[in-house]
């Protein structure tokens, strides 16, 4: 896209509602949404400006609302790349989108994050007796409920639109093809073992 494109010559101004619904803190509707959400996506940025987007999931309510301006997100075992956590050490700005299965609206939260190793906080976020190694503390700067247009267009929650898993190779096959480091069967066995033993 040309750098000199004037977007407001192409797009209308946002509606009064679209502007007014952006809140500086979590109201009861935002808190209720977070309490029901088992899944979010977090966007972070490295010091050099390159970006990363990563999923987070757990039972509904896994994100703790500490107060109207503060969230705590547990960091469960993953691939140890530390993309999000490393980025936050460089640049604390984060964007979150919360999803609730079956609900087509989403909740967007933007703010600043820091990594916490507070033992009491982590102990309170334990699942199956296993606390997270760290938690992200997000200071909320703006939050707003997002309408359902994107999810309606995607038909994301419609069972009749779900793709059969067999349409794609297994993750082990794809990773084996991409890396050449192990056979597909070995990769699939490793992944299944990880799902059985390393969710928490």
Same domain, 122 and 30: yes
Same domain, 150 and 168: no
Q: What is the pLDDT of residue 8?
A: 87
Same domain, 21 and 109: yes
Strand order from edge to edge, sheet including 64-67? 51-57, 39-45, 93-100, 103-116, 134-146, 70-75, 64-67
CATH number at residue 24: 2.30.110.10
Same domain, 168 and 138: no
1 domain residue, yes or no: no
Q: How far apart are CA 9 and CA 132, in angstroms?
A: 48
Q: How far apart are CA 37 and CA 63, in angstroms?
A: 8
Same domain, 63 and 130: yes
Same domain, 99 and 33: yes
| Rg for the chain, CA atoms, rounded | 19
Same domain, 172 and 120: no
User: What range defines the domain where residue 145 resides?
Assistant: 7-154
Same domain, 190 and 126: no
Same domain, 77 and 37: yes
Q: What is the pLDDT of residue 2?
A: 66
Q: How far apart are CA 188 and CA 152, in angstroms?
A: 33
Residue 181 phi/psi, 5° resolution? -90, -20
The residue ranges of the chain whose pLDDT is under 50 are none
Same domain, 57 and 147: yes
pLDDT in tens, 36-85: 999 999 999 998 989 999 999 999 999 999 999 999 999 999 999 999 99
Same domain, 107 and 193: no
Q: What 3 state SS string does the chain have?
A: CCCCCCHHHCCCCCCHHHHHCCECCCCHHHHHHHHHCCEEEEEEECCCCCEEEEEEECCCCCCEEEECCEEEEEECCCCCCCHHHHHHHHCCEEEEEEEECCEEEEEEEEEEEEEECCHHHHHCCCECCECCCEEEEEEEEEEEEECCHHHHHHCCCCHHHCCCHHHCCCHHHHHHHHHCCCCHHHHHHHHHHHHHHCCC
Which of 122, 35, 30 has its CA nearest to residue 76?
A: 122
Domain count, the chain: 2
33 domain residue, yes or no: yes
Q: Indicate the residue among 154, 172, 188 that finishes a domain.
A: 154
69 domain residue, yes or no: yes
2 domain residue, yes or no: no
């Amino acid at each position: 896209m040309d750098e000199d494109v004037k977007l407001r010559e192409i797009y209308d101004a946002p509606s009064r509602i679209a502007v007014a619904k952006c809140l500086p803190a979590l109201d009861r509707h935002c808190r209720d949404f977070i309490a029901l959400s088992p899944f979010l996506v977090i966007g972070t940025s490295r010091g050099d400006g390159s970006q990363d987007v990563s999923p987070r999931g757990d039972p509904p309510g896994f994100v703790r609302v500490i107060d109207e301006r503060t969230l705590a997100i547990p960091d469960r075992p993953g691939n140890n790349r530390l993309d999000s956590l490393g980025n936050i050490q460089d640049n604390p700005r984060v964007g979150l989108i919360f999803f609730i299965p079956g609900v087509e609206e989403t909740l967007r939260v933007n703010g600043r994050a820091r990594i916490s190793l507070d033992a009491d906080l982590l102990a309170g976020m334990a699942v199956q007796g296993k606390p997270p190694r760290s938690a992200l503390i997000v200071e909320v700067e703006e939050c707003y409920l997002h309408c359902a247009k994107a999810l309606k267009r995607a038909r994301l929650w419609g069972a009749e639109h779900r793709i059969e898993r067999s349409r794609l190779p297994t993750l082990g096959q794809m990773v084996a093809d991409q890396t050449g480091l192990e056979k597909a069967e070995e990769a699939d066995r490793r992944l299944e073992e990880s799902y059985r033993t390393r969710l928490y």
